[in-house]
């Protein structure tokens, strides 16, 4: 599913490659091209006359700006969103106030809030660097182990959040084969894992 690929690659881009040494490293450049291709395939990539930096770093995606130009299908999106909103209301201590506002939900705001939260959680999956010797190294290993224990119970919640994010990205849940992505949407053919391994081997 293209929407799922977009979400996973965006989280990898923001949380790992773009936060690593040198934001414009070879792996991040490939990820940028992959994301651009996938977003064009579901018609959420901005027009060429928009701010270049805004596009390059995919700020428009995190902010939900694509809702200004998308062709989202409300008869698909709305029932899913209503179910999500109802679930949120049931779990909230402000249920009465939220119930009165649930018909004024704004997709862009929901998307930005959920994606921002998802990014923060994804950052926790990145292991602490083991740069110290002795007790410092032990403490790093301990922290990594404890983070794993903390994140296990979040798995089901993250799956639910990802489902809503994917619906917002592309309500039609489109699937496109890799050959079509390459021929029609300029999807890069370089192997990201191989490029990343070479980059790490060269010492960044």
Q: What is the pTM of this model?
A: 0.81
pLDDT tens digits for range 38-69? 999 999 988 765 555 555 568 889 888 888 65
- Confidence bin at 160 (pLDDT 50/70/90): confident
Sign of torsion over alpha carbons 131, 136, 141, 143: negative
Q: To 10 degrees, what angle do helices 107-124 and 135-151 make?
A: 140
Alpha carbons 134 and 106: distance in angstroms, whole number: 52
Q: To 10 degrees, what angle do helices 2-12 and 26-41 make?
A: 150
Q: Are 161 and 117 in contact (CB under 8 A)?
A: yes
Both structure tokens of 32:
């940028």
Segment 120-139 mean pLDDT: 66
- Confidence bin at 152 (pLDDT 50/70/90): confident
**So where are the chain's domains?**
2-71+106-201
Q: What is the DSSP string of 63-79?
A: TTGGGGT----HHHHHH
Per DSSP, 48 falls in state T
Per-range mean pLDDT, top range of 46-55, 128-137, 142-151: 142-151
Between 146 and 121, where is the model more confident?
Answer: 121
């Amino acid at each position: 599913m293209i929407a799922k690929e977009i979400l996973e690659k965006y989280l990898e881009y923001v949380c790992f490659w773009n936060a690593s040494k040198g934001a414009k490293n070879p792996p991040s450049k490939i990820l940028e091209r992959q994301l651009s291709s996938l977003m064009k395939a579901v018609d959420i990539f901005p027009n060429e006359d928009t701010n270049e930096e805004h596009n390059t770093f995919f700020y428009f995606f995190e902010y939900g700006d694509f809702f200004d130009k998308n062709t989202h299908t409300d008869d698909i999106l709305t029932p899913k969103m209503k179910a999500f909103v109802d679930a949120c209301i049931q779990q909230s201590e402000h249920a009465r106030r939220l119930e009165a506002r649930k018909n004024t939900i704004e997709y862009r705001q929901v998307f930005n809030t959920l994606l921002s939260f998802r990014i923060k959680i994804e950052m926790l999956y990145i292991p602490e660097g083991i740069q110290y010797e002795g007790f410092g190294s032990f403490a790093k290993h301990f922290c990594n182990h404890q983070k794993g224990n903390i994140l296990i119970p979040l798995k089901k919640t993250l799956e639910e959040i990802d489902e809503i994010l994917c619906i917002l990205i592309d309500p039609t849940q489109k699937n496109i084969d890799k050959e079509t992505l390459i021929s029609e949407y300029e999807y890069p053919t370089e192997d990201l894992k191989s490029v990343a391994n070479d980059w790490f081997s060269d010492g960044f």
